Amino acid sequence: MIYNITDRVIQHGALLDEMRVETSGAVATFHGIVRRPSRGRDVLYLEYSSYGSMALKVLEQIGGEIYQNMQVDKVLLTHRTGRLEIGETTILIAIAAPHRKAALEGCSYAIERIKQILPVWKKEVWDGGEEWIQGA
């Protein structure tokens, strides 16, 4: 398993290479990406803040739930913090499993749980203002 909360650019290629294991026939991935239009405005950039030490424990918890309930080989959950520009990756999830169904379901489960309980907050910054987004 790989769990990270990081203020550095997520290195997809190297991370996804680590998800190739001999027992897995499938790797499902989810990339969250900063988009420009949001709530009727043009976003300039995002700032992500976290309760870092707790967030890492929560990622471990979510990963544990996936290992416990699904037939998967390896879980990768990594979330960016700090300032992110349009087009940058905010989150990378990858689930390696023997078969596609568990890989896809694990990926979907991970992003939904992250949206529910990961202590990370997003601030949208646009021309002339900014706002913490709650519960998005």
Partner 1 sequence: MTITAKFFANFQDVIGTNTLKLSFDETLISIADLITQLERQHPGFNGNLEKFSLVAVNEKYSHRRQELSDGDVVAFFPPVSGG
Length reported for the chain:
136
Residue type, 42: D
Contact pick of 60, 121, 125, 126 for partner 1 (by CB under 8 A)? 121
CB of 73 to partner 1, least distance (A): 24
Query: Considering only residues 6, 60, 109, 122, which one is a binding residue for partner 1 as defined by CB under 8 A?
Result: 122
Alpha-carbon distance of 135 to 116, in angstroms, equals 8
Check residue 20 for interaction with partner 1 (CB under 8 A). Answer: no
Token pair recorded at residue 30: 């989810």
Sole window of 8-16, 51-59, 65-73, 98-106 interacting with partner 1 (rule: CB under 8 A): 51-59
Q: Which residue has the tokens 């992003």?
A: 111
Yes or no: say if 110 and 93 are a contact pair by the CB < 8 Å rule. Answer: yes
Going by DSSP bridges, is the β-strand pair 74-80/89-97 parallel, antiparallel, or unpaired? antiparallel
Contact pattern for partner 1 over residues 70 through 109, marking x by CB under 8 A = ---------x----------xx------------------
d(CA 43, CA 19): 33
Binding residue for partner 1, selected from 32, 43, 74, 84, defined by CB under 8 A? 32
Q: Tokens standing for 121?
A: 């907050």
| Contact set with partner 1 (CB under 8 A) | 32, 48-51, 53-54, 57, 79, 90-91, 111, 114-123, 132-136
